[in-house]
Amino acid sequence: MKKKTEPAGADFAPARPRTSAPRAPDDAGASAESRGERSPVRVRAAAPARGAPAETIEPERLQKVLAQLGVGSRREIEEWVVAGRISVNGEPAELGQKIGPGDRVKVNGKLVPLKFATRTPRVLIYHKPEGEIVSREDPDGRPTVFERLPLLRKGRWIAVGRLDFNTSGLLLFTNDGTLANRLMHPRYELEREYAVRLLGELTEEQIESLKTGIQLEDGLARFTTLTDQGGEGINHWYKVTLSEGRNREVRRMFEAVGLTVSRLMRVRYGPVTLSSRLKRGMWMEMPEEDVCELAGLPRPQRQVSARTAEKARQVRVHRTTPR
């Protein structure tokens, strides 16, 4: 897979000096040691004294553990449990079942190595172009967003929400099913912001209707904000925000008031904003410190050299060709 990199700043709020280097993608090349660079200082925890009691690890729900490992999303894992595709210690798994380090879990007959230690998820920020689908396979042979992503040694990338075939813009991926659920679940009400180009211009009555609520086939939908961005000729631009992600929701809302969307681009998802340097078809990895804030995890505590800290500030974007 061909790839070019260039420095870019991640538009992630709140901005602050970073003290930890972003984790390199799996296909990023040789390690720092093999390149002759000095590695950051590693701090190891002191070994427990002989005879000290072992740390107790509380059992956790099966779907949570497997989701954290990137096996699938919680919803997918629950469906697999119902379908009998998951076993625990040789017996069919049950919904809500808890497991611990001593349990043997198999998915489709394959043993899953369990990990209960806290780890920082990985998050990719991708600028999706039009003409790609957010699916792993397509019967029509259309290109998918997953063909451009770096390969994972373990687990898989999970798309945070979807963008339809003709929609471009910000798309997040993570290898952690729990984080994916946190970012997508309606109860967290993470705001999505879109730039919309219409064939025509909205009237004041239409704007009020879209902000108050439009009745769609799958329920009431409304924009939290709707601002006029101007335009020329028959094309007019608007910026809209909403706190949910139903299928083709933005397009359907404008169609409901009699206007057609000629271009749609997502520019923000929650606190993550699409960087102007991240061009279409490019991705970059979110720095670990920002991932911890996004996931509600403690910030990593580790010592780093001044050189490593400087490298952390130079977030790199990657351009790839589909595999």
Active-site positions read: 164
Sign, CA dihedral 136-140-143-147, equals positive
For residues 300 and 190, what is the distance between their CA atoms, to the nearest angstrom? 24
Which residues are CB-contacts of 45 (< 8 A; sequence separation ≥ 6)? none
| Helix residue spans in 119-189 (DSSP H) | 177-184
For residues 293 and 162, what is the distance between their CA atoms, to the nearest angstrom? 23
Amino acid at 50: R
> Can you name the residues that pair with 198 across neighbouring β-strands?
236, 261
Token pair of 17, please?
A: 């000096």
Taking alpha carbons only, the member of 131, 86, 154, 156 closest to residue 145 is: 131
For residues 174 and 161, what is the distance between their CA atoms, to the nearest angstrom? 11
Neighbours of 296 (CB within 10 A): 8
Pairing type for strands 272-273 and 261-269 reads antiparallel
For residues 226 and 235, what is the distance between their CA atoms, to the nearest angstrom? 16
CB 301 within 8 A of CB 8: no
